[in-house]
Structure 1
Amino acid sequence: MKPHHLTISPNSTRSFTAKREILPDINSWWHYHEEIELIYFKKGSGTQFVGDNIRNFKSGDVVLVGSNLPHYWQFSERDKESEIEVYVVHFNKNFWGKDFLYLPENLEISRVIEKSKRGIQIEDNFDNCLTKSIIQVIESQGPKKIINLIEVLLEISKCMKAQILVSLGFRANFQESERDRMQAIYNYTLKNYSQKISLDKIANEAKMSRTSFCKFFKLRTGKTYSEFVNEIRIGNACKMLIEKRMTVKEICFESGFLNFSSFHQCFKEITGQTPLKYQKSYN
């Protein structure tokens, strides 16, 4: 998928943007921007794409996405039909002055911004100091707005359950021709992951030979295409397990797996849990 460069509209009365969103189709494509993005999903769930990482997101999750790191949140069909509640902050690394992050007192803030280049996710945040501070960034005015953002970054820096999302080998600086190929690959995969996708078919979508495609995809993403597809399938399965509208076996086939054994093995490899144990953890 080709990441589109998104320009965050400047505002002469604000040094950074902070807003509350209730529509699930805001910036609903793979994009990137120079500003660092902080997002808190108070209400909403679906599948997230950050760099080469694919996983489900849900209410209570907080994500910090670094400058020019491609990302995209695809809300579930259920959420597309209802109102969501998401808090989003965009800020330039040096909006507070180019020397601010080099002050010795700001070492922890500097470190968390550096880590954000690979994306940071913190799950299951409900009415804690982190989420309250994020909401205050949006609602406050004047110097308090900046102070609250600093508080958020400090909370993230000391959070023990923060997860790094993107692999070390991920390349965000694709050439234009590579972006077009990645766009074709992502688009086709997202539409057809619930079916069997042959290497010949996806290579044809990318306008490459099968051998060239395998080398290209592994070099650009750090993973094989089958690993990539399985991550999407398991991300979809996680979402359906939480929703509890189908049995585990039904979810297995709905997600694109041809047998329960391979689904069970793949699910455990990616999540570290069996499907049933994962589902029970959300009871």
Structure 2
Amino acid sequence: MKAILFKIPKNDEGSIKLEEDKEPYFYGFLHYHPEIQITLILKGEGEFIIGGKRGRFKPGNLFIIGQNDPHVFLSDKIYYENNNKISHSISVFFNQYIFDRLFYDFKELQILGKFSVDFSKGIIIESTMGEIQFTFRKMFTASPLTKFQLFILLLELLNEHREKRMLNPNAEIIKSSETGDKKLSAVYEYILENFNENPSLDEAAKTAHMSTPSFCRYIKKRTRKTFTGLVNDLRIGEAQKLLSRNDRTISEIGFEVGFNNLTNFNRKFKKITGKTPGEYRAS
């Protein structure tokens, strides 16, 4: 799955861009863009990939995606097969640099500046009922000035939310470049196409056009993970998707995502998710 540089249409109305997606299934290609993205899932279920993290999404989930962070929301297979199903999300896009001065020059907004530092790590809020959803939706019918005020209020509500969780809490803040992100996207593509077999460190380095030692340093800097750690994260993400269905045993799923024994699969799964595969399936 290759990440595509996605161009957000220019917005003549102001410094933030609103977008509503309401289709049978979401845009299914790994992509990235220089804008920060905040997305609220209103309808639809499936799996997400954001940076090096993989997991499930459902209605009520809200995601903050950092600039140039490869991501995709993959609707479940049933949404491609049943035209009566709807996937619905609303998003806001904005450039970090536009707001940096605003956040730091005005004392009242400095707390939002501190919050924005974490955007590069990716953020998920599992449940967003009430004021967050109301404020987000109201932006779509507001005048430009009111829309901007609502956007600041939305950031304040998200900052104050007690159940927000960083997807990549140990990620460094790294200045992105299109060239660098194309390299990382090529690595994701290689792993996603081969994780159920045995992805090769040397082959992955070749996809990024780097020597193996340089590649190891690059992956560690970009993801705060070793290559093996990144592979395991993506494998466990796929296992979470398969465990949400009941058509295969835990052992079968472990082998399908690339683990050659059940003990190793159980250990890695619990290390990454905090639960055993059996506990995850039962929850």
Instruction: Measure how far apart 1:145 and its partner are.
Output: 2.1
* Separation in 1, partners of 2:124, 2:234: 18
AA matched with 2:117: E
Paired residues of 1:70 and 1:172 also in contact (CA < 8 A): no
In the alignment, which residue of structure 2 is the partner of 1:56?
Answer: 55
Instruction: Measure how far apart 1:273 and its partner are.
Output: 1.1
Is 1:120 paired with 2:129?
no
How far does the alpha carbon of each residue in 1:175-194 deviate from its partner, in whole angstroms, 9 at most, with x for none? 73x54543332211111212
Paired residues of 2:38 and 2:63 also in contact (CA < 8 A): yes
Instruction: Measure how far apart 1:84 and its partner are.
Output: 0.9
Paired residues of 2:68 and 2:181 also in contact (CA < 8 A): no
Instruction: Provide the identity percentage.
Output: 27
> What are the within-5 Å matches in structure 2 for residues 7-156 of structure 1?
7-23=7-23, 24-26=25-27, 28-33=29-34, 35-51=35-51, 53-59=52-58, 60-66=60-66, 68-78=67-77, 81=80, 82-93=85-96, 98-99=101-102, 102-125=105-128, 127-156=129-158
How far does the alpha carbon of each residue in 1:47-84 deviate from its partner, in whole angstroms, 9 at most, with x for none? 43434x31213112211234x34131140442651531
Of residues 186, 200, 204, the one that matches 1:202 is: 204
How far does the alpha carbon of each residue in 1:100-121 deviate from its partner, in whole angstroms, 9 at most, with x for none? 6532222333322232233222
Paired residues of 2:46 and 2:56 also in contact (CA < 8 A): yes
AA matched with 2:71: Y
Evaluate the alpha carbon distance shift between residue 94 and residue 202 of structure 1 in structure 2; reply closer, same or farther with a 3 A threshold: closer
AA matched with 1:261: T
In the alignment, which residue of structure 1 is the partner of 2:280?
Answer: 278
Instruction: Measure how far apart 1:172 and its partner are.
Output: 4.6
Q: Which moved more, 1:6-15 or 1:152-161?
A: 6-15
* Separation in 1, partners of 2:17, 2:123: 20
The root-mean-square deviation of aligned C-alpha atoms, in Å, is: 3.0
Q: Which moved more, 1:111-120 or 1:185-194?
A: 111-120
- Secondary structure of the 2:39 match is strand
Evaluate the alpha carbon distance shift between residue 266 and residue 207 of structure 1 in structure 2; reply closer, same or farther with a 3 A threshold: same
Give structure 1 stretches of 5+ with no counterpart: none
Give structure 2 stretches of 5+ with no counterpart: none
Q: Which moved more, 1:100-109 or 1:56-65?
A: 100-109
State the TM-score, normalized to the length of structure 2.
0.82
Evaluate the alpha carbon distance shift between residue 201 and residue 128 of structure 1 in structure 2; reply closer, same or farther with a 3 A threshold: same
> What are the within-5 Å matches in structure 2 for residues 175-186 of structure 1?
176=179, 178-186=180-188
* Separation in 2, partners of 1:7, 1:267: 36
- Secondary structure of the 2:244 match is helix
* Separation in 2, partners of 1:197, 1:7: 31
Paired residues of 2:55 and 2:237 also in contact (CA < 8 A): yes
How far does the alpha carbon of each residue in 1:111-139 deviate from its partner, in whole angstroms, 9 at most, with x for none? 222322332221133x3322232222234
* Separation in 2, partners of 1:96, 1:213: 33
AA matched with 1:91: F
* Separation in 2, partners of 1:128, 1:161: 14
* Separation in 2, partners of 1:56, 1:151: 28
* Separation in 1, partners of 2:263, 2:73: 28
In the alignment, which residue of structure 1 is the partner of 2:268?
Answer: 266
Instruction: Measure how far apart 1:274 and its partner are.
Output: 1.1
Instruction: Measure how far apart 1:32 and its partner are.
Output: 2.2
* Separation in 2, partners of 1:79, 1:64: 26
Aligned residue-pair number: 276
